[in-house]
Every structure is written in structure tokens, then in C-alpha cells.
Amino acid sequence: MLTRKQHELLLFIHDRLAETGVSPSFEEMKDALDLKSKSGVHRLIRALEERDFIRRLPNRARALEVLRMPERVIPAKAAAAAAPALAPAAPKIPVAANDSVLEIPLHGRIAAGMPIEAMEGQSSLSVPAALLGPGEHYALEVSGDSMIEAGILDGDYALIRRTETARDGEIVVALVDEAEATLKYFRREGQMIRLDPANHAYSPQRYQSGQVRVQGKLAGLLRRY
């Protein structure tokens, strides 16, 4: 299943190719989807390539080809405008309904305190599709209270987008010494990595850069009552 942004980008590329025969530029795609940077466009393009919806044509700049459109179709433009009818010839792609649910892997518990093991598991978690953006995701159950000032509570499910990079100030899953994982704010201090809690009762944790490996960034939270 594609995310809403992936749907919108696929439709935009399809429309532009149908109108002009030329792929839109990354700047045009960024503006059309109201993204802050072209890096977001690159991630969406990569996700569509991985799912075999588009491909890049070799030896040609800005050359994209739409390989297929999903079978179950609701026009993205009409969905955004809540329009009940369409022109018959309008390109169509699926749009996940607000109550669409995805199954993502649930990989045990992660500390929002001192690092504990985040275990690989075989279970899964049902997640509203609207909470997830592009990329591959997994879930971890939060244990501890060191991130409560960021609104992350013991027992919450952290929805994590897989990535190995992070910017200062982002909340990440950090694997320490290849053994223990923790959920913290990520910051660099020269050659050191500082993992900051969001609870004044806890102190920052500092490690050599080689001791810490980013395994994902926080994409959302689920809480059960």
C-alpha cells in the first residue's frame, strides 16, 4: 500500500508525462507536494521505485517512467478536494482511507530510561496508515519515563522509520555498543554523541561516535487506554 504522499507524487508524475511527455523536475515535485526540501522527493521516488511503480530511465536527466498504476483507484486530486465525480479520462491512483490500517513489525521493548535490549520479534502491530509516511517502519513498546516531557509515556508504542542517519534534535532509536537500544534525542558534540532524555530527573548519556548506531527515527506514537 502506498502512502498518501506517494500517491500524490505518482499522480503528479503521471499527469505531467501525459501532458508534456517530460518528467517534472525535483523542484516542481517538491512544490507540488508542499515539501520542505528535495530530499523528501528523493525518498518518495526511491519508495516508488522499490515498489515497481516507476523507474528511472538510464542516461537521461530527469527521466522517469510510470510502470504501473494500482488496481484499486480513487483519484488523489478528487480525494483531496472531496469531489464526488471525475472526468472519465482522469488518471487514477489509490488513496488510503483515513481508517486504513497497516501491519508493521513489533520488535519488543525499548527503554526511555537507561538502555535495555530492543528484541527482534515475530509479532506485528496494526497502525493507522495516516500515521506513517514514506519508508519502512517498525514499532517498539516504550519502557520507562525518561521521555515524558516529549509526550512519550511508559507503555506507548513508538513508530519508527528505519534510517541510519539523524540530525541534531531528532528523536532516534540508538543502538549502544551493538547491544542495547534506547529512545532519546540525538545530538553531536564534536567526536562524541550525546543522547538526551526529556525528563529533568535523568542526565544526558555521552558516548564515542563509534559506540552509537542510529537504527531509526520516531515517526509517531500509539497509545492504548
The reply to whether 38 and 107 lie within a common domain is no
Strand partners, 56: 64
The predicted structure's pLDDT at residue 194: 96
Pick the closest to residue 55 from 66, 44, 42, 43 (CA basis): 66
The predicted structure's pLDDT at residue 184: 95
Distance between CA 159 and CA 138 in Å, rounded? Answer: 6
What type of residue is 63? A
The reply to whether 38 and 110 lie within a common domain is no
Q: Look at residue 92 and tell me if it is in a domain.
A: no
The predicted structure's pLDDT at residue 62: 59
Sequence-distant (6+) residues with CB within 8 A of 114 are: 144, 182
Q: Is 5 a catalytic residue?
A: no
- Angle at which helix 38-50 crosses helix 4-20, to 10 degrees, equals 90
The reply to whether 120 and 184 lie within a common domain is yes
Is 172's pLDDT higher than 90?
A: yes
The predicted structure's pLDDT at residue 5: 83
The predicted structure's pLDDT at residue 10: 87
**Residue range 32-76, pLDDT digits in tens:** 888 887 778 888 888 888 778 888 876 555 578 888 876 433 333
Strand partners, 191: none
The predicted structure's pLDDT at residue 100: 74
Q: Look at residue 126 and tell me if it is in a domain.
A: yes
C-alpha cell at 95: 488513496
Average pLDDT, integer, range 176-190: 90
Out of 81, 112, 145, a domain closes at 81
Q: Look at residue 139 and tell me if it is in a domain.
A: yes
Identify the active-site residue in 5, 92, 184, 217. Answer: 184
Residue 190: phi and psi, rounded to 5, are 65, -120
- 213 in Cβ contact with 150 (< 8 Å): no
The reply to whether 129 and 170 lie within a common domain is yes
Identify the active-site residue in 123, 146, 203, 209. Answer: 146
**Residue range 73-116, pLDDT digits in tens:** 333 343 344 333 333 333 333 333 444 778 888 887 887 765 55
The reply to whether 15 and 107 lie within a common domain is no
CATH of the domain at 14: 1.10.10.10
Is 130's pLDDT higher than 50?
A: yes
The reply to whether 145 and 67 lie within a common domain is no
Place 208 in a pLDDT band, splitting at 50, 70 and 90.
very high
Q: Look at residue 95 and tell me if it is in a domain.
A: no
Average pLDDT, integer, range 109-136: 72
> How many Cβ atoms from other residues are within 10 Å of residue 49's Cβ?
14
CATH of the domain at 194: 2.10.109.10
Lowest mean pLDDT segment, chosen from 123-127, 153-157, 164-168 = 123-127
The reply to whether 112 and 215 lie within a common domain is yes
Which residue is it, cell 511503480? 53
C-alpha cell at 55: 523507474
Is 209's pLDDT higher than 70?
A: yes
Q: Is 184 a catalytic residue?
A: yes
The predicted structure's pLDDT at residue 83: 35
The predicted structure's pLDDT at residue 60: 56
Pick the closest to residue 100 from 126, 72, 136 (CA basis): 126
The predicted structure's pLDDT at residue 71: 47
Q: Look at residue 182 and tell me if it is in a domain.
A: yes
Lowest mean pLDDT segment, chosen from 63-67, 95-99, 133-137, 140-144 = 95-99
Q: Strand, helix or coil at 70?
A: coil
> How many Cβ atoms from other residues are within 10 Å of residue 122's Cβ?
7
Is 167's pLDDT higher than 90?
A: yes
Residue 21 sits in which domain range? Answer: 4-81
The structural domain count of the chain equals 2
